[in-house]
């Protein structure tokens, strides 16, 4: 059937047109538009504002793309489940609630604050040019311009401010923290005696009948999984870039057009003396402050070398006065604008005229400058070459992707045509239906593996369709050899089966010996666990010291009112352990530990209070969710996927 459609593609298209055109005549274009009406359906309302199915779909798609960038090997199927879609809706609702609260609380941050955040926060370092300005090219790769980025940043900061007062003000009293963490940190002294199956293996020699019986009872564990040896090809920007020749003139043009990126940000080191004069000060008081500042300025001009001493005695900036007014190096955007303008207009050693800001009157002395140098072309040639190659590859990618897709489909019996056309390397691998642990790239893509193990690919050894395995990355594969799932015969696995029988019988013997020893000790509790003396250790949940979880639970589960307590714990293949809990010890702690626990407890409590506040916002802003519409939409695939 597939062969017919491949061979008679023109006939197939003509037949489809005969079916489609009459349907437009009978039903009209409006009939088809009804298929898109669901996008305008309301799935929830917040503060009287609707959240439509289309908005939900867009939000979910953004979340999917973000997760795919963060975890390229994540199974795409996990991102389009009803639960994943509902999580995206809940996140969208949360954003709407916080934005409504930010609006009512007038929490919109100013442009100046956004600028300070952008130039100082490490998370934005990748988006900053050396001079502190925003890198518009990088923003463009994320579908943003500077205006949209600023709006998004303002919105995010406003939402953070809504919850910041709650999460940062949680109190964690010492007594409550101690009561909460004591069960975790309590220590107990315990003796162990282990009955190790490994030590018992040498005396066990199962017969062929035992091995065969085990094999028949556990055939499923001796199954060879379905596998396929494949050839595959990958088209991505890196591959395309390798085939791109970058002319010297293009490199130089790019360098000249982006000189600011290769210029070290200019910085100033200044000292100042501040005489405070805020906006609420009376005119007379402000005049007196200015007069005092002018008097100090005159002293500085008379004796510039005494600036630091004057600052220590007279500056009202408590953060710098002790250092002689020294503000260290700072770049543009770090100071209020009048101060910045003055500092960046001065020469080292120069003292500016009096500068007035919202803080008062400043006497500024410029100590030093640094930065402003442009890196030579040779120092950044490799970086520019890589960027230009990537840019050229991006321009070529759409055309190459179409050629790739068409070629692997139209010439389905071999990958060689697409390899020759686009100069791609042929890759090989052995794969299973699920990605192997640690797999990366296309071999970690569930979509590609599904295509490899499709009936057409297995039965006819045809190319898979081109599969998008990551952003700007296509792959196609074909099976060379297919190996179905099968139960391995006993002759091939006899040694492995025998070893499993030995392990099983050794574990059973360890259990028997341990239980017998436990019964003896219960009759004579004062008898030592073992000769030589058993291992003694101190166990707590936060410092288990390699002790298995089952043993930790047994030790901490012993009734402290009945010590010493004797117990036996079956660890299966790891054997059997006898233990005697003898003491409860006070927990170890330092002032630093206590501080860390209080901090963690306060953070957890703050998060809980924030969630409670969000629930209150749902009531305040009258959140309504159309659960029937949500259920129906969650069961449907995301449009465009």
Say how many C-beta atoms besides its own lie within 10 A of residue 423's C-beta: 11
DSSP state of 36: G
Quote the pLDDT of residue 635.
67
Quote the pLDDT of residue 13.
39
pLDDT exceeds cutoff 80 at 246: no
C-alpha 77 chain-centroid distance:
18
Provide mean pLDDT across the span 592-605.
80
pLDDT exceeds cutoff 80 at 23: no
Produce one character per residue of 595-624: b if its CB has 16 or more CB atoms within 10 Å, e if not: eebbeebbeebbeeebeebbeebeeebebe
3-state secondary structure of 641: coil
Distance of alpha carbon 367 from alpha carbon 271, whole angstroms? 7
Does 595 or 614 have the greater pLDDT score? 614
Token look-up 């000769």 returns 531
Q: pLDDT by residue (tens digit) across 499-521? A: 999 999 999 999 999 999 999 99
Q: pLDDT by residue (tens digit) across 626-640? A: 998 888 877 665 554
Give yes or no for a contact between 440 and 72, defined as CB atoms under 8 angstroms apart.
Answer: yes
3-state secondary structure of 209: helix
Identify which of 266, 329, 270, 268 has the alpha carbon closest to the alpha carbon of residue 132: 266
Phi/psi at 269 (5° precision): -115, 120
Structure tokens at 167: 């999460």
pLDDT exceeds cutoff 90 at 146: no
Quote the pLDDT of residue 108.
79
What is the pTM assigned to this prediction?
A: 0.49
* Whole-number Cα distances in Å, 570 to 192, 515, 545, 575: 13, 9, 19, 6
DSSP state of 413: T
Distance of alpha carbon 192 from alpha carbon 575, whole angstroms? 13
- Strongest mean pLDDT among 173-177, 199-203, 238-242, 523-527: 199-203
Q: pLDDT by residue (tens digit) across 266-302? A: 899 999 999 999 877 888 999 999 999 999 999 999 9
Structure tokens at 40: 């305008």
Structure tokens at 68: 């795919």
Confidence at 33, pLDDT banded by 50, 70, 90: very low
Produce one character per residue of 509-536: b if its CB has 16 or more CB atoms within 10 Å, e if not: bbbeebeebbeebeeeeeeebbeeebee
Confidence at 20, pLDDT banded by 50, 70, 90: very low
Distance of alpha carbon 332 from alpha carbon 119, whole angstroms? 8
Provide mean pLDDT across the span 564-584.
93
How many degrees, rounded to 5, is the angle at CA 287 between CA 282 and CA 288? 100
Give yes or no for a contact between 192 and 518, defined as CB atoms under 8 angstroms apart.
Answer: no
3-state secondary structure of 233: strand
Distance of alpha carbon 73 from alpha carbon 84, whole angstroms? 17
3-state secondary structure of 489: coil
DSSP per residue, 126-144: GGB-TTS-B-HHHHHHTT-
Confidence at 24, pLDDT banded by 50, 70, 90: very low
Structure tokens at 359: 């803080």
pLDDT exceeds cutoff 70 at 603: yes
Quote the pLDDT of residue 243.
67
Quote the pLDDT of residue 130.
66
Give yes or no for a contact between 401 and 276, defined as CB atoms under 8 angstroms apart.
Answer: no
* Whole-number Cα distances in Å, 441 to 74, 84, 133: 10, 23, 34
Least confident of 64-68, 200-204, 351-355, 433-437: 64-68
């Amino acid at each position: 059937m597939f062969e017919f459609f491949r061979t008679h593609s023109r006939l197939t298209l003509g037949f489809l047109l005969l079916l489609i055109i009459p349907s437009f005549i009978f039903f009209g274009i409006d009939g088809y538009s009804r298929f898109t009406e669901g996008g305008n359906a309301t799935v929830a309302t917040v503060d009287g504002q609707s959240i439509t199915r289309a908005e939900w779909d867009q939000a979910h798609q953004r979340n999917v793309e973000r997760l795919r960038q963060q975890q390229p090997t994540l199974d795409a199927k996990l991102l389009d489940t009803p639960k994943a879609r509902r999580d995206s809706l809940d996140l969208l609702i949360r954003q709407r609630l916080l934005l409504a609260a930010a609006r009512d609380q007038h929490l919109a941050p100013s442009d100046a604050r956004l600028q300070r955040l952008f130039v100082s926060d490490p998370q934005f370092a990748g988006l900053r040019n050396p001079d502190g300005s925003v890198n518009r090219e990088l923003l463009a790769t994320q579908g943003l311009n500077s205006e949209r980025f600023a709006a998004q940043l303002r919105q995010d900061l406003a939402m953070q401010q809504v919850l910041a007062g709650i999460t940062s003000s949680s109190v964690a009293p010492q007594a409550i923290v101690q009561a909460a963490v004591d069960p975790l940190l309590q220590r107990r002294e315990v003796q162990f005696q282990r009955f190790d199956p490994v030590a018992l293996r040498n005396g066990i020699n199962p017969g062929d009948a035992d091995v065969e019986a085990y094999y028949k009872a556990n055939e499923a564990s001796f199954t060879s999984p379905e596998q396929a040896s494949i050839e595959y090809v990958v088209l991505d920007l890196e591959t395309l870039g390798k085939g791109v020749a970058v002319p010297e003139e293009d490199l130089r043009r790019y360098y000249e057009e982006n000189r600011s990126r290769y210029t070290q940000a200019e910085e100033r080191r200044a000292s100042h003396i501040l005489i405070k004069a805020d906006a609420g000060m009376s005119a007379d008081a402000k005049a007196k402050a200015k007069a005092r500042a002018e008097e100090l300025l005159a002293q500085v001009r008379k004796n510039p070398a005494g600036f630091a001493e004057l600052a220590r005695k007279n500056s009202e900036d408590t953060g710098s006065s002790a250092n002689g007014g020294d503000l260290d190096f700072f770049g543009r955007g770090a100071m209020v604008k009048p101060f910045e303008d003055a500092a960046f207009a001065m020469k080292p050693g120069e003292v500016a005229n009096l500068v007035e800001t919202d803080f008062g009157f400043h006497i500024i002395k410029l100590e030093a400058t640094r930065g402003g140098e442009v890196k030579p072309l040779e120092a950044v040639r490799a970086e520019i070459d890589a960027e230009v190659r990537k840019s050229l590859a991006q321009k070529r990618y759409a055309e190459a992707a179409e050629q790739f897709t068409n070629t692997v489909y139209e010439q389905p019996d071999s990958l060689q045509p697409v390899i020759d056309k686009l100069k791609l390397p042929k890759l090989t691998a052995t794969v299973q239906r699920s990605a192997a642990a640690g797999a990366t790239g296309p071999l970690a893509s569930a979509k590609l593996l599904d295509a490899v193990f499709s009936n057409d690919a297995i039965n006819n050894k045809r190319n898979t369709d081109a599969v998008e395995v990551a952003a700007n990355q296509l792959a196609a594969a074909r099976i060379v050899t297919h190996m179905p799932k099968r139960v391995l015969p006993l002759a091939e696995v006899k040694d492995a089966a025998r070893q499993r029988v030995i392990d099983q019988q050794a574990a059973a013997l360890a259990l028997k010996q341990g239980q017998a020893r436990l019964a003896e000790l219960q009759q004579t509790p004062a008898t030592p666990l073992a000769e030589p003396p058993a291992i003694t250790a101190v166990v707590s949940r936060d410092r288990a010291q390699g002790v298995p979880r089952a043993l930790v639970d047994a030790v901490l589960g012993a009734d402290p009112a009945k010590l010493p307590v004797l117990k036996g714990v079956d660890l299966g293949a790891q054997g059997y352990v006898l233990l005697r809990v003898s003491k409860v010890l006070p927990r170890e702690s330092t002032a630093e530990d206590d501080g860390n626990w209080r901090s963690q407890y306060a953070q957890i409590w703050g998060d809980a209070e924030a969630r409670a506040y969000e629930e209150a916002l749902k009531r305040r802003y009258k959140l309504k969710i159309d659960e029937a519409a949500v259920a129906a939409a969650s069961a449907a695939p995301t449009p465009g996927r």
